[in-house]
Amino acid sequence: MMTADQLLARLYALRKDYADDPEDETYQALHHAFMFVSYNMAGFKEYVKKEAEKAAKE
């Protein structure tokens, strides 16, 4: 499973793919998701950790 930092980096890369049209709904969704997660990294890291633990038990 990817780390929280890797997931954030992937969101950033996906957002850049759509940056040529800031009005595009996909860009807006990716942009806001990226911004929210980046401002709440502690919570996101905890979420990713718990999900990784759940996946390891399966």
Tokens representing residue 24 in the block: 């595009």
Q: Is the pTM of this model over 0.85?
A: yes
Residue 2 has pLDDT above 90, yes or no: yes
Note the pLDDT of residue 1.
Answer: 87
Residue pLDDT, tens place only, 4-44: 999 999 999 999 999 999 999 999 999 999 999 999 999 99
Q: What is the 3-state secondary structure (H, E, C) of 1-30?
A: CCCHHHHHHHHHHHHHHCCCCCCCHHHHHH
